[in-house]
Amino acid sequence: MFELEAGIRYIGDRPEIEIMHGDPLISSSIIIEGEEIGGPSVVITIGIFTTLKANEWHTQDITLQSSRTQIKQFYEKDGKITINAGFSADGYTYEQKDNAFLSLKAEDIPR
């Protein structure tokens, strides 16, 4: 099992901004040899509003279930963990959504 703490931070000009998102705000998956392990993550697409204050982190604990074999394959086959914050907000353009995505390679994650 992998346990992570993921977060997003608002760095705009206003003191705070309200975002709308599903549940959970931050989703993640394990990918080995281009294949997602454990199936796609489920995001319930209900409209939750969260206020992000300027330069303060909004964090979420993430647990990715995996077997010992999958963890071994993850490191042997240079797997990756993807993390995505899916949300919308006033003034936030579609092109900026690439900034809400992070990919961690096996070599970057300590065993």
At the topology level of CATH, where does 2-108 sit? Immunoglobulin-like (2.60.40)
**Phi and psi based region of residue 68 (left: phi greater than 0; alpha: psi -120 to 50; beta: remaining):** alpha
Q: What band does 38 get if pLDDT is binned at 50, 70 and 90?
A: confident
Domain boundaries along the sequence of the chain: 2-108
Who has greater pLDDT, 69 or 93?
69
Residue-wise pLDDT for 54-74, tens only, equals 999 999 999 998 899 999 999
pLDDT at position 39, please? Answer: 63
Total residues found in the chain within this entry:
111
The four Cα atoms 91, 84, 27, 68 give a dihedral, to 10 degrees, of: -170
Share above pLDDT 90 across residues of the chain, in percent, rounded to a whole number: 41
Alpha carbons 54 and 16: distance in angstroms, whole number = 5
Residue-wise pLDDT for 18-33, tens only, equals 999 888 898 889 999 9
Q: Rounded to two decimals, what is the model's pTM? A: 0.77
Alpha carbons 97 and 44: distance in angstroms, whole number = 19
Q: Is the pLDDT of residue 96 over 60?
A: no
Alpha carbons 80 and 103: distance in angstroms, whole number = 7
**Phi and psi based region of residue 29 (left: phi greater than 0; alpha: psi -120 to 50; beta: remaining):** beta
Report residue 14 as tokens: 């206003």
pLDDT at position 45, please? Answer: 75
pLDDT at position 40, please? Answer: 60
